[in-house]
Structure 1
């Protein structure tokens, strides 16, 4: 017997149905189906799982590092920085920052202090672009049905829907089990 589909049901062709029997190869395949950068998205998923721990499954809005509260996305960016240490784009950013600071006469005379100032500015720029990359990867993980995302914090009227709120990511039970197996 033919059943008429619900014409008003929202259908997302990319979203995978949740599965309780997800194993690691299936998890990787699901990420590869929805992400243009599946390796990066998988690393982000692993870091979210690490930050969430085994108890709650949620990570954020802040992570404690050496007694300091760091926003989750910043922590994820900082954790992924070592991957890009020898990347040509990172080296180009270092050169751009150094030449920009030299042109502004903002570099200290002490070479060690100058290197520290350059590294701080590079860190700020990389974190800014890294937050976008992390958000894009998390969006892929949400589409794959492996992570849920919401925002927490102070809400003010503002054109930017973030408005002083920070991201909280919750890893699904199936994804957590696949990563632990």
Structure 2
């Protein structure tokens, strides 16, 4: 039995522009990102990081090996982009909110160093949660721009839909990979 609603989402994220066979250069990628993306600079950073983490086929994920740890690709991207948010006023507001919440619960350690490391850990955790959403949104825009393909891999089989212990896999197309490799 065919259920059309299952495929409605997949149809809505088809690429606006297919870039697999065309010749691209950096200005063309930037122009495409400004046409398709709400935050083209952020999307370009995500594209560049995915290209750096990818194997020679352009595939990054579902896990990125960092030392002896395996990190889901979205978490790795969030961690890599975290320094961009260091001076962001929203990060400072989150840190103030965390301090206030810890003080209200009497959970703030007496030692200033311990307190600051606890606050930083909580801020990093909250930023990672929101960062995962930002990365997913940027990747969706890159998919629409035709620069990246995405699927999910995990528990039982490769699958186009998320959920059920599946992790994202991002694949940068060949034309974009060549341009980013030269840069």
TM bin (shorter chain): 0.7 to 0.9
Find the residue that maps to 2:106 and give its secondary structure.
coil
C-alpha deviations, 1:79-135, integer Å up to 9, x for none? Answer: 011111001000000000011011011111111111111111111100000000000
More helix by share: 2
Contact 2:18 2:147 in 1 (8 A): no
Partner of 1:124: 125
Name the TM-score, length of structure 1 as normaliser: 0.87
Structure 1 moving runs of 4+ over 6 Å: 10-14
Distance 2:117 2:42 in 1: 28
Contact 1:22 1:174 in 2 (8 A): yes
Name the TM-score, length of structure 2 as normaliser: 0.86
C-alpha deviations, 1:29-71, integer Å up to 9, x for none? Answer: 1111110100000000000000004x12100111111211111
Partner of 2:62: 61
Considering only CA atoms, is the larger Rg found in Structure 1 or Structure 2? 1
Q: Which structure 1 segments of 5+ residues have no match?
A: 1-9
Measured on the aligned residues, the alpha-carbon RMSD in Å equals 2.1
Q: How many residues were matched structurally?
A: 168
Find the residue that maps to 1:145 and give its secondary structure.
coil
Find the residue that maps to 1:69 and give its secondary structure.
strand
